[in-house]
């Protein structure tokens, strides 16, 4: 992940987490989501089955704040982000998520810079892409 043409964070293998925070999110959402992310069995074991978590695999996590995940495209051609939390609400939850992920993972988590224009590169192995919803708990 780069900011202004400089590499700001990098993981070799692991999970890229694009975190969207909405006004209705709270601390209990962070608690559930961090545990879910770290314990999902998405990495292959010695038999080739997806049976290892990022922690067991020894992978890293790159956490990027992504308010555009809450885009509403219902009306017209210009997306609206009215459901996305304002920085005063989102920033503390983002920081809490960063701390909780590191705690549950047992090692530091790489991160982007909240609110910055970032260039994020991804090599999607699999590809495996999941959408986790804290309100539906799935």
Of the candidates 68, 111, 129, 134, the residue annotated as catalytic is 68
Token pair 């999970």 is found at 15
DSSP conformation class of 38:
H
Question: Are 23 and 83 in contact, with CB atoms under 8 Å apart?
Answer: yes
Active site includes 68?
yes
CA-closest candidate to residue 96, choices 30, 32, 22, 19:
30
By annotation, the residues acting in catalysis are 68
């Amino acid at each position: 992940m780069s900011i202004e043409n400089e590499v700001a964070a990098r993981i070799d293998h692991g999970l890229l987490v694009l975190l969207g925070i909405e006004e209705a999110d709270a601390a209990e959402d962070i608690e559930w989501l961090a545990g879910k992310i770290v314990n999902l069995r998405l990495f292959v074991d010695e038999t080739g089955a997806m049976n290892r978590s990022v922690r067991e695999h020894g992978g890293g996590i790159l956490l990027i704040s992504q308010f555009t995940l809450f885009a509403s495209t219902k009306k017209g051609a210009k997306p609206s982000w009215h459901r996305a939390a304002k920085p005063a609400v989102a920033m503390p939850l983002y920081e809490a998520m960063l701390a909780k992920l590191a705690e549950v993972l047992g090692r530091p988590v790489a991160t982007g810079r909240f609110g910055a224009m970032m260039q994020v590169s991804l090599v999607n192995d699999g590809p495996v892409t999941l959408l986790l919803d804290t309100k539906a708990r799935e």
